[in-house]
Amino acid sequence: MPVTEILRELAPGSVVLDLGCGSGSFPAPGGPVTFCAVDLETPPVPPARFLQADAGRLPFRAWTFDLIVCNHSLEHFLNLGDVLAEIHRTIKPSGALYVAVPDSTTLSDRLYRWLARGGGHVNPFSSASELAARIERTTGLRHAATRPLCTSFSFLNRKNARGPLPRRLWLFGGGTECSLRIAIRLLRMLDRTFGTGLSSYGWAFYFGNAGSAIDTRRWRNVCIRCGSAHPPESLRATSRWWPEFTCPQCGTLNPFE
Ligand SMILES: [Zn+2]
């Protein structure tokens, strides 16, 4: 995931917060780094160093964190203004902030909200520049870069269902991985041909001291099962005419782009 670029450059002794972590929004960094994960609700399988807390009232002192990660969480906070104020208070002036959110105007987010009856997305973001400006203004951290993210529709994957399959899923081939691979290939072809954004998900934003190696290329090759994404140069395509790759994280077969 794009946040690994920042994690790689963290100095020993850095303090990192996964804010709105769910069951862990990224693998806990190794090495001499202090890590903490916060969410309002305790997930069934909490990540390492989990703390239940309101993101709008964080139980940390001012200037605690070198890096705060909000990976697909800002869209869920009812008290977004309070959360941004708490990021401003608890992040060091020399720190970095990583934010990934869905674009509410995309096919992916509309489908997700329709299928999951809202899915807890209470903050619709439709403009990357407006959101970046708001975060920059409220946290005091300079906007360093924005990276467009693609979707894999992994929320449609029947293997990811936590309960009975929603009946609406049958409109999407029942959420089988074969139907997802075909759908993604088709949408990417339409995007390439007509310049549409049907395979878009949203954006990753980097603020503050985010390091020197931010890659702003479109983040593609997202796994239809686990949702992880991988740079094309790190993957091996199975064939030239029907290229696919095996996800290094979960072993699922995916269309290669
Ligand atoms: Zn995977």
213: domain CATH number is 3.40.50.150
- Does 114 fall in a domain? no
CA of 178 to the centre of ligand 1 (A): 14
Instruction: Report the pLDDT value the prediction gives residue 1, as an integer from 0 to 100.
Output: 61
- Does 108 fall in a domain? no
CA of 133 to the centre of ligand 1 (A): 33
- Does 113 fall in a domain? no
- Does 133 fall in a domain? yes
CA of 235 to the centre of ligand 1 (A): 12
CA of 154 to the centre of ligand 1 (A): 9
CA of 244 to the centre of ligand 1 (A): 13
Instruction: Report the pLDDT value the prediction gives residue 76, as an integer from 0 to 100.
Output: 96
Instruction: Report the pLDDT value the prediction gives residue 223, as an integer from 0 to 100.
Output: 94
CA of 38 to the centre of ligand 1 (A): 24
> Are residues 70 and 138 part of one domain?
yes
Q: Is 161 helix (H, G, I), strand (E, B) or coil?
A: coil
For residue 171, give Cα distances in angstroms to 72, 116, 165. 26, 14, 12
- Does 165 fall in a domain? yes
Six token digits for residue 108: 């992916």
Geometric angle at alpha carbon 1, from 97 and 179, rounded to 5°: 135
- pLDDT under 50: residue ranges of the chain: none
Give the span between the Cα atoms of 74 and 251, in whole angstroms.
29
pTM, full prediction = 0.91
CA of 250 to the centre of ligand 1 (A): 4
Residue pair 91/139 in contact by the 8 Å Cβ criterion: yes
Instruction: Report the pLDDT value the prediction gives residue 13, as an integer from 0 to 100.
Output: 92
CA of 228 to the centre of ligand 1 (A): 6
Instruction: Report the pLDDT value the prediction gives residue 162, as an integer from 0 to 100.
Output: 77
Pinpoint the alpha helices (H) of 61-157. Answer: 80-90, 107-115, 128-139
Geometric angle at alpha carbon 199, from 166 and 232, rounded to 5°: 115
> Are residues 169 and 75 part of one domain?
no
- Does 134 fall in a domain? yes
Domain carrying residue 188: 152-198+221-257
CA of 226 to the centre of ligand 1 (A): 4
Instruction: Report the pLDDT value the prediction gives residue 250, as an integer from 0 to 100.
Output: 92
> Are residues 128 and 38 part of one domain?
yes
